[in-house]
Amino acid sequence: NPTGSDSYANKTNVERDAGVEWWRDARFGMFIHWGVYAVPAGEYGGKVFTGASEWLMHQAKIPASEYRHFAEAFNPVAYDPETWVRAAVDAGMKYLVITAKHHDGFALFPSKASTWNVAEATPYGRDLLGPLVDACRRAGLRIGFYYSQAQDWFNGGSVFGEKWDPVQENDFDAYLDRVAIPQIRELLTTYGPDIPAVLWWDTPSDMTPDRAARVDAAVQAVAPGMLQNDRLGLIREQHPGHFDTPEQRIPANRPGRAWETCMTTNESWGFCASDNAWKPAALLIRQLCEVVSQGGNYLLNIGPRADGTFPEPSLAALREVGDWMRVNGEAVHGTSAGPFPYRLPWGFASRRDRMMYLMIDEWPVGGLLEVPLLDLPETAQLLSDPEAPVGFRIVDNVLRITLPASAPGAAVCVVALRFAAEPRIGNIP
Ligand code: H79
């Protein structure tokens, strides 16, 4: 009987994790930060703001009466959700989370709760989420909604730090009742019974226990058991949600439950014209491997342009990650944390049933890989070159795997080991 999060918090880890199974197996998803901030793209009044273009209204202290003009230039005529979804699927991603509303209060969906939405405030004049939901459904991709429940600089929600506009002088409870809760209901009732698959809250400033309970009750009333992250309330323990959300980092110690690292592909979440700090695909792959080896999910962000297209460097990175995933995806999807608590000299490991995947990002000298396992595998194979000879034996309580003397490529290289039974773990260096 999935009632509020209070009862949820009392459940055992196993009960709590049952509804998270598809999400855990997915391991790899796409975050999408899209809104009218893609129009100024990190520049205002001749000044370039770096870091996070979705924060421009806040950083440049733009009054709502001026900021709304960006919506008049938000006309994503090249928006083709099928293309987005194909890019995600081809990259090996299994779910997608899009900003239904970010801190600037702009809704990507028609809303009766505020005219500050795509249907009423832009020349595009129609829903952006529905077509994406449909494209995801057709492709078998799950879709979640990010919703900034507390910060809303446009509709009278909370404001991080100093306020700069009279519209922000508002009763927060009135904002929750007038905007946030009705919009959350709209998001939960418009797109179908299993949509969204996840609710992704953010920055719970002002979300005192009674307010968080009020929002959660609204969610449970229409979508009992809805998968949620851990950012609903100020007191995280009151509404722990289903998973932890380390942002822009991979935790040194693996959390004791489901978790998801979200990361940008350059430095900004929203599209930022001046941000050219694109991470090489090899780094994204390495981060995916590290996260997966610790039992987490990797939610990789894309900031689409105002015309509805993904920036070319993002597409290039997704294609490269996809090339890697087509060869090595079995080390990612449906796996759980490897047996080693931290990175070994050569890299990471994940496992599924009797398989163990060694994800090598630092090729061992002479191709001699030392793995702290006490049992021999039945087979050992390089996923990128299944015909390559791979030897294995146990010497001094260490599994020694003989690989080609030099690395076959630049990206992480995976060796798949199949065991007859769960191997015993040796001394971890
Ligand atoms: O949606 C993305 C961020 O916009 C959001 N969470 C991710 C998923 C986020 N909101 N707040 N924060 C992250 C942390 C606050 C960062 C800040 Fe700043 C430091 C706010 C002001 C100083 C970054 C740098 C944003 C503006 C300047």
Within a domain: 429: no
Q: For ligand 1, atom 12, which residue shows the shortest CA distance?
A: 203
Q: For ligand 1, atom 13, which residue shows the shortest CA distance?
A: 203
Q: Are residues 34 and 165 in the same domain?
A: yes
Q: Are residues 292 and 384 in the same domain?
A: no
For ligand 1, mutation pick of 202, 267, 272 (most atoms within 8 Å of CB) = 202
Residue with tokens 């949820």: 8
pLDDT score of 390: 97
Q: Are residues 221 and 352 in the same domain?
A: no
- Return the percentage of the chain with pLDDT > 70, whole number: 96
Domain total of the chain: 2
Q: Are residues 75 and 117 in the same domain?
A: yes
pLDDT score of 4: 37
CA 132 to centroid of ligand 1, rounded, Å: 25
User: For residue 63, what are the CA distances in angstroms to 56, 58, 68, 165?
Assistant: 11, 9, 9, 6
pLDDT band, very low/low/confident/very high, at 8 (cuts 50, 70, 90): very low
Q: Are residues 184 and 109 in the same domain?
A: yes
CA 52 to centroid of ligand 1, rounded, Å: 7
Ligand 1 and 262: CB distance under 6 A: yes
Ligand 1 and 54: CB distance under 6 A: yes
Within a domain: 424: no
Is the pTM higher than 0.90?
Answer: yes
Q: Are residues 145 and 268 in the same domain?
A: yes
Q: Are residues 270 and 379 in the same domain?
A: no
Within a domain: 344: yes
CA 37 to centroid of ligand 1, rounded, Å: 14
Q: Are residues 234 and 252 in the same domain?
A: yes
Within a domain: 32: yes
Residues contacting residue 84 through CB under 8 Å, at least 6 positions apart: 32, 96, 132, 135, 304, 310
Please state, rounded to an integer, the average pLDDT across all residues of the chain: 95
Q: What is the mean pLDDT of residues 84-104?
A: 98
CA 150 to centroid of ligand 1, rounded, Å: 13
**Residue 266 and residue 277 in contact, taking contact as beta carbons nearer than 8 Å:** yes
Q: Are residues 240 and 378 in the same domain?
A: no
Q: Are residues 316 and 220 in the same domain?
A: yes
Query: Is ipTM > 0.90 here?
Result: yes
CA 203 to centroid of ligand 1, rounded, Å: 9
pLDDT score of 249: 98
Judge whether residue 14 has pLDDT over 80: no
Within a domain: 426: no
Residue numbers of the domain that contains 406: 338-418
Ligand 1 and 205: CB distance under 6 A: no
The Cα–Cα gap between 168 and 154 comes to 7
Q: For ligand 1, atom 14, which residue shows the shortest CA distance?
A: 203
The Cα–Cα gap between 12 and 340 comes to 25
Judge whether residue 6 has pLDDT over 90: no
Other C-beta atoms closer than 10 Å to the C-beta of 405 total: 11
CA 339 to centroid of ligand 1, rounded, Å: 34
Compute φ and ψ for 341, nearest 5 degrees: -70, -15
For ligand 1, mutation pick of 30, 55, 158, 300 (most atoms within 8 Å of CB) = 55
H/E segment holding residue 96:
strand 95-101
Within a domain: 171: yes
Q: What is the mean pLDDT of residues 216-226?
A: 95
Handedness of CA 201, 315, 309, 67 (dihedral sign): positive
Ligand 1 and 202: CB distance under 6 A: yes
Q: What SS3 class is residue 257?
A: coil
In tens, the pLDDT along 26-49 reads 999 999 999 999 999 999 999 999
List the CATH number of the domain containing 123: 3.20.20.80
Q: Which atom of ligand 1 is nearest to the CA of 161?
A: 21
Ligand 1 and 267: CB distance under 6 A: no
CA 214 to centroid of ligand 1, rounded, Å: 25
Q: Which atom of ligand 1 is nearest to the CA of 102?
A: 1
Ligand 1 and 51: CB distance under 6 A: yes
CA 223 to centroid of ligand 1, rounded, Å: 28
CA 171 to centroid of ligand 1, rounded, Å: 23
List the CATH number of the domain containing 379: 2.60.40.1180
pLDDT score of 410: 79
In tens, the pLDDT along 139-182 reads 999 999 999 999 999 999 999 999 999 999 999 999 999 999 99
Q: Which atom of ligand 1 is nearest to the CA of 54?
A: 4
Q: What is the mean pLDDT of residues 57-78?
A: 98
pLDDT score of 193: 84
Strand 142-147 to strand 95-101: parallel, antiparallel, or no bridges (unpaired)?
parallel
CA 315 to centroid of ligand 1, rounded, Å: 24
Judge whether residue 16 has pLDDT over 60: no
Q: Are residues 192 and 219 in the same domain?
A: yes
